[in-house]
Amino acid sequence: MSTPLCPPSIDSVEDLRQLQRLMGVAMYRPLVNDDEELAPEWTDGRPMAEMVGEFIRPNDRLTSEERLAIYSRSYWFRILDCLYDDFPGLRSVLGAKKFHAFARAYLASCPSSSWTLRNLGNRILPFIDQHPEWTAPRTAIARDIAHFEWAQVLAFDEARNEPLHGDDLLGSNPDELRLGLQPYLVFLEVNYAVDDYFMAVRNRDSGMRAEASNTLDHAPVRAAVRRLALPKKQKLWLAVHRCDTDVYFKRITREAFLLFTALQRGQTVSAALEIALQQADPGEDWAKLVKEWFENAATLGWFCARREP
Amino acid sequence: MPANKFNNFTDYGIGVGLRVPHYAHILDKKPVVDWFEIISENFMVDGGRPLKVLDQILEQYRVVQHGVSMYFGNADPLNKEHLKKLKRLVKRTNTPWLSDHLCWGSVDGSYSHDLLPMPYTMAVAKHTAEKVRQAQDFLEVPICVENVSSYAEFHQSKMTEWEFLSEVVERADCGMLLDVNNIYVSSQNHEFDPFEYVRNVPHHRIGQIHVAGHTRYPTHLLDTHDHPVPDPVWDLYAETIKLGGHTATLLEWDDRIPSFDEVHAEALKANRFLHEHAPVSA
Ligand SMILES: [Fe+2]
């Protein structure tokens, strides 16, 4: 990537864009020396001081780079703080030091692409898959817990549509009926008991996100924490959902998971049931169970009218 | 009577920023507060607790929206999706005006989540004013543009910050949210006279004032919003209302947040200055 030089004067929107790009490159570069200073070199190896000196004026107290470092620290502290808040379980699995290195690498590779910090973790699963080196040897656990924690971010404030009730479904032809599921509802299949582990972490920690209208002068500080036993290996199917304003999660059966995710994909009720029960144990009373799933889901308000994409 | 053209809300006295740690106290105790300022972005969501809390607050209180991510100063155009969400919120809150900052914050789709300083040139002022106009037209609510604290200046700047701010608000024909703490912080960081700043902006455009505290480091002041308002900021506040008249005033406290009563008491100190320097005429 060739880095533009800073225009000597800002007389157009293009000049302004160049200046903002340059400042962005400097600011978004990971800090060095315990997250205190700008890296000594620009992305192409040129001295940072020389590049930043092209646009930031020094004063008698601070050099150009020191002035820019105030912004870079604020940037890094804010986004790291956000990941700390959204992924406490992942941090606990990796340990503080390793989580910090992981978070820096993730944010350097996937800088925030949304006006809201709420979406900061939206690429964490592909990142874990593509860069297992940051989570090894616990990549599989890390992936599951990150998946579970990201689901909670979604469940917290995704939309809730007008729910359909049990009565609304009566008399519909299951061969034709396609049901919508609430946007806040996330189903996941994991290989570790991340729900139990998450509760243990939550009982141990608590935290809150800072507002974005002031400047952060401190890196996220969390007290040293008691180590927890890692989540035990166990195949689980989870529904992460919301009741009133609180996020909940519950374990569901494999068959229920297959059913709901098939409905989510737009399958008719009949087709979804066929997918769900393909390898089901013939000894079970599935008719009774299926009825219970539907009743439970309707009570929780999970079903809504399907919006065609 | 409004104190000035952009201040049709003189009866909005002293507000407090609505912050998460105070939700329970406010909903439970229902303290008497003139109005709450909300960070728009915290409520630009599709569902869940934030909107439920907001609706409960709206049943009891007047709310004014304050944004942190419109980024009028970005070279990039305004984000249409963002504006649509913001407008939905404007309809919900019925905010009489809304504010956001004179800054930039993202480039090429990468977001800093910060309020970054502008290079002060005429071309940039024109571009920024045009974006304020576009936002104001779309949102159909008056916009007040707020000055930010800054820690860096650009070699490329050709005017003072107050000249730049004046140029933008005149061209956009919008209001100003003067943050006197930000003016003070920047004046110390860039060695200018903060009183010269407040004397040289168009006073008839001051629609709202922010007061806040900051942190002093050996080499610079940082806008941390984690302290009571220091005396030099109150002095600047007094000068501003002398010039601009009785203005809706808000205390910002965002970090190391004390009890609601403590924050409110700090905000109400502004009353003393308003009575002395900008009494509301009958
Ligand atoms: Fe402010």
Report pLDDT digits (tens) over A115-148: 999 999 999 999 999 999 999 999 999 999 999 9
Collect all residues of chain A within an 8 Å Cβ-Cβ radius of residue B153.
56-57
Nearest to A20 among B75, B149, B218 (CB): B75
* Residues in CB range of B218: below 8 A, 6 or more apart: A61
Domain positions in chain A: 87-209+218-304
Tally of CB atoms within 10 A around B34: 17
Q: What pTM did the predictor assign?
A: 0.91
Per-residue pLDDT of B55-111, as tens digits, reads 999 999 999 999 999 999 999 999 999 999 999 999 999 999 999 999 999 999 999
**Is any Cβ of chain B less than 8 angstroms from the Cβ of A50?**
no
Does residue A2 carry a pLDDT above 60? no
Q: If DSSP codes are grouped into helix, strand and coil, which group holds residue B261? A: helix
Residue B255 at interface with chain A, using a CB cutoff of 8 Å: yes
For chain B, domain boundaries: 5-276
* B149 closest CB neighbour out of A59, A78, A215: A215
Name every chain B residue with its beta carbon within 8 A of the beta carbon of A12.
123
Name the average pLDDT for chain B: 94
pLDDT for A203: 86
Q: Which fold would CATH assign to domain B5-276? A: TIM Barrel (3.20.20)
Query: Angle B214-B155-B145 (CA atoms, 0-180°, nearest 5)?
Result: 50
Count of CB atoms situated within 10 Å of the CB of B255? 18
Phi, psi of B143 (to 5 degrees): -110, 135
Predicted confidence (pLDDT) per residue in A163-181, tens digit:
998 777 778 899 999 999 9
Residue B48 forms contact with A (CB below 8 Å): yes
Burial zone of A239 (CB within 10 Å; 0-12 exposed, 13-18 middle, 19+ buried): buried
User: Does the structure show a pLDDT above 50 at A208?
Assistant: no
CB B18 within 8 A of CB B37: yes
Q: pLDDT category, A223, cuts 50, 70, 90? A: low
Nearest to B222 among A54, A184, A217 (CB): A217
Q: Does A110 touch chain B (CB under 8 A)?
A: no
